[in-house]
């Protein structure tokens, strides 16, 4: 998962229309007329867009209406050379500021994010502080924000998709600068949100289940004594790994699924969270200490309190936006992802309702030799590793990667093994560093040339186990994208990718090659078939999770005063409804709530859709790089920069994002 320190979240989220404009329509039109007369009708489009946008943002403290008109007439630039010079000045300084804010944020969060021992309350406060919260206020105070809105027009998503087809790279960069100061928000709202988000992240980062302390109905321990599994990532990955265990694998999977259910409905005892002093039977919910039963306390609503707190922070920000972006749902999809939520839901429902689902489920059932159960939504048997002994894989990874420094040292070799030239492998590795993560790990990109991207991965004292290695390779893919899309993109305002789904796509591509990196090659003639089926089943799972995530936020906006208890009931109902409509006919059982287990719903709200699109994009990119030089093609694709999703995909693959390529492929391999 890519850590959300980006230009958009540091800057664009920190601006909004909070107070109403003091500039009348008459003053706006008069100013436009004066500028057209002075600069010529050829500048009409820029003049009208610039003056109207600047007027929306102008507030009483910025000056009188007369001062506004005078400012526009004085600072509007019609000369192309002067405009380019102004753009270069903004680009240079935004990189300095944004890069510095991101670097400070990463460094201040080190005690929280890295495995550095205990942290203090002061560490938590510093970790939740946003050093860039006042930056936009300052840009309005010194009028630089208005210089940008006046001279660089803002475009709608439809305009970018249509006009962008013929835009030059510079025109795209101008457009991205034009939307940087979309709205205007008080810094205290930004700081409050950062603090609340930090609390949610810390809640998740310490939500460990002591698997070695779990007991079945016979009092038997199924997992190694020291095994500790972070929810949800490690729980899910441990469940996946047990398809290779023919003796106890099924019992382990059923137990993990029960643990997940207890977390979702909050009947999990507080005493067993991140605490190895107790044993716990998740079936009966019995807790013991020193073999004696104890009266345990259910967590009740801790999970949903975090969600409610974040929602209320978003509600406060909603008031600062016009109708086009006045909910977090709209901002996340229409603005940040540049993919309207209605289109997203429609595409997801089309996929999970497709007849291909039952065809693939039949293949899985035949391979397992039993009826499918709900947790088989995480079936991992199409991957090469599913038939391999997980303990032997862990022996390999622990030997090769005993600590973060060992992984960092091996990065050039990993990249060469994936198909990058020695020179490019060195170039990338010199710009990425590896840190020991407290949680499951994440990728944190740099935002200024000269700084390094950070691969933060969880490595135990006895070395990196296979599951941790698999996640680390995923995060390494993010880092490669982050490096290419910062250092190799021609304009800083175009650095990055259209949205997080695109960086997830490359992370998935790296992750799918984890065995190749270990020197385990799959020469199976059915390798392509297994790849198609695996990608399809992963999409089937994550699209269901994404639908639950979206519908939870829709419910929150329909019930803005809901309590955590009410939200819990709603989440259980929503997860059950999605399951009953699209999954129960395939996997059996009604009212299953497993899709609500994802920790992203607590600390990274509405991020999950990025994984769904990431899988779709991955499939299309894999087809694009097939038979080509992997390293060169990846570099070409991930230096396209932050265009709209449609335009980026057309340049990368020649087609837009669609479910049809993978549905067609599934039909072909299941004939």
Residue 487 token pair: 């250092």
Which of 14-23, 316-325, 472-481 has the weakest average pLDDT? 14-23
Distance (Å, rounded) from C-alpha 430 to C-alpha 413? 13
The pLDDT tens digits for 473-487 are 999 999 999 999 999
Q: What is the reported pLDDT for 295?
A: 96
User: Phi/psi class of residue 414: alpha, beta or left (left: φ > 0; alpha: ψ in -120 to 50)?
Assistant: alpha
| Of the candidates 353, 376, 671, the residue with the CA atom closest to the CA atom of residue 529 | 671
pLDDT at 517: 93
CA distance 541 to 555: 22
Between CA 312 and CA 319 the distance in angstroms is 11
Q: 184: which strand partners?
A: 15
Task: Please report which confidence band the pLDDT of residue 345 belongs to, taking 50, 70 and 90 as the band edges.
Answer: very high
Whether the per-residue pLDDT at 379 is higher than 60: the answer is yes
**H-helix segments, 297-403:** 302-318, 328-330, 341-352, 356-368, 390-400
- Which helix (H) or strand (E) element contains residue 665? helix 660-669
pLDDT at site 187: 80
| CA-to-CA separations, 4 to 109, 485, 549, in angstroms, rounded | 13, 15, 18
Rounded to an integer, the average pLDDT of 645-657 is 95
526-553 pLDDT tens trace: 888 998 999 999 999 999 999 999 999 9
**Do 434 and 441 meet the contact criterion of CB atoms below 8 Å apart?**
no
Residue 291 has pLDDT above 50, yes or no: yes
Mean per-residue pLDDT of the chain: 93
Helix (H) or strand (E) holding 229: strand 228-230
β-bridge partners, 453: 432
Record the tokens describing residue 337, joined without a space.
Answer: 């992802």
> Which of 140, 118, 113 is CA-nearest to residue 5?
113
**Residue 1: pLDDT band by 50, 70, 90 thresholds?**
low
CA atoms within 13 A on the CB side of 75: 20
Name the more confident of 305 and 390: 305
For residue 225, the model assigns a pLDDT of 94
455: closest CA among 467, 466, 445? Answer: 445
Domain residue ranges in the chain: 7-187, 207-265+267-300, 304-382+524-669, 389-509
* Ordered DSSP codes for 376-417: GGG--TTSGGGGS-HHHHHHHHHHH-SSHHHHHHHHHHHHHH
Considering the entire predicted model, what is its pTM? 0.83
Inter-residue contact 293 to 286 (CB < 8 Å) = yes
Tens-digit pLDDT profile for residues 554-598: 999 999 999 999 999 999 999 999 999 999 999 999 999 999 999
- The Cα–Cα gap between 42 and 641 comes to 30
């Amino acid at each position: 998962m890519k850590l959300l320190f980006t230009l958009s979240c540091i800057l664009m989220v920190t601006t909004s229309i909070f107070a109403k404009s003091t500039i009348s329509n008459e003053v706006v039109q008069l100013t436009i007329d004066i500028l057209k007369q002075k600069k010529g009708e050829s500048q009409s489009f820029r003049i009208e867009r610039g003056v109207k946008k600047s007027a929306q943002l102008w507030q009483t403290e910025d000056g009188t209406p007369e001062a506004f008109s005078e400012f526009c007439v004085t600072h509007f630039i019609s000369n192309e050379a002067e405009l380019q010079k102004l753009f270069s000045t903004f680009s240079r300084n935004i990189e300095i500021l944004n890069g510095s804010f991101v670097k400070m944020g990463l460094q201040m969060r080190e005690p929280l994010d890295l495995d550095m021992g205990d942290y203090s309350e002061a560490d938590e406060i510093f970790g939740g502080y946003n050093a860039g919260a006042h930056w936009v206020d300052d840009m309005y105070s010194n009028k630089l924000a208005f210089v940008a809105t006046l001279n660089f027009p803002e475009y709608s998503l439809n305009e970018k998709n249509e006009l962008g087809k013929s835009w030059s790279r510079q025109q795209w960069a101008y457009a991205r600068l034009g939307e940087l100061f979309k709205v205007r928000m008080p810094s205290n709202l930004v700081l409050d949100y950062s603090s609340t988000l930090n609390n949610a992240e810390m809640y998740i980062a310490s939500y460990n289940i002591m698997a070695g302390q779990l007991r079945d109905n016979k009092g038997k321990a199924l997992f190694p004594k020291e095994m500790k599994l972070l929810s949800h990532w490690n729980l899910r990955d441990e469940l996946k790994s047990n398809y290779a265990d023919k003796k106890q694998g099924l019992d382990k999977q059923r137990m993990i699924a029960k643990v997940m259910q207890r977390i979702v409905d909050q009947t999990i005892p507080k005493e067993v969270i991140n605490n190895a002093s107790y044993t716990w039977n998740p079936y009966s919910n019995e807790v013991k200490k020193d073999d004696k039963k104890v009266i345990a306390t259910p967590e009740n609503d801790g999970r949903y309190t975090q969600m409610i707190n974040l929602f209320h922070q978003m509600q406060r920000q909603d008031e600062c936006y016009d109708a086009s972006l006045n909910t977090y749902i709209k901002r996340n999809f229409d603005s940040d992802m540049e993919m309207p939520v209605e289109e997203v839901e429609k595409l997801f429902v089309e996929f999970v309702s497709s007849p291909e689902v039952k065809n693939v489920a039949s293949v899985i059932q035949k391979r397992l030799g039993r009826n499918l159960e709900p947790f088989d939504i995480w079936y991992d048997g199409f991957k090469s590793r599913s038939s391999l002994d997980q303990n032997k894989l862990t022996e390999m990874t622990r030997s090769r990667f005993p600590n973060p420094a060992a992984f960092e040292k091996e990065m050039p070799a990993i990249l060469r093994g994936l198909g990058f030239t020695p020179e490019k492998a060195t170039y990338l590795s010199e710009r990425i560093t590896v840190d020991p993560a407290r949680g499951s790990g994440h990728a944190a990109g740099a935002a200024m040339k000269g700084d390094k991207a950070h691969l933060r991965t969880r490595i135990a004292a006895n070395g990196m186990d296979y599951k941790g290695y698999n996640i680390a390779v995923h995060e390494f893919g993010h880092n490669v994208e982050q490096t290419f899309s910062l250092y190799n993109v021609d304009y800083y305002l175009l650095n990055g990718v259209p949205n997080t789904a695109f960086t997830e796509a490359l992370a998935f591509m790296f992750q799918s090659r984890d065995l190749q990196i270990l020197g385990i090659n799959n020469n199976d003639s059915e390798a392509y078939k297994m790849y198609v089926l695996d990608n399809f089943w992963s999409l089937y799972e994550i699209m269901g999770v994404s639908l639950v995530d979206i519908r939870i936020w829709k419910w929150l906006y329909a019930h803005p005063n809901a309590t955590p208890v009410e939200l819990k009931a709603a989440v259980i109902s929503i997860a059950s409804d999605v399951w009953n409509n699209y999954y129960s006919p395939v996997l059996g059982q009604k009212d299953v709530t497993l899709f609500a287990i994802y920790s992203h719903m607590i600390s990274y709200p509405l991020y999950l859709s990025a994984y769904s699109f990431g899988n779709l994009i991955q499939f299309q990119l894999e087809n694009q790089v097939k038979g080509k030089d992997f390293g060169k093609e990846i570099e070409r694709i991930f230096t396209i920069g932050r265009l709209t999703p449609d335009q980026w995909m057309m340049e990368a693959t020649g087609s837009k994002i669609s479910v049809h390529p993978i549905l067609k492929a599934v039909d072909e391999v299941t004939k």
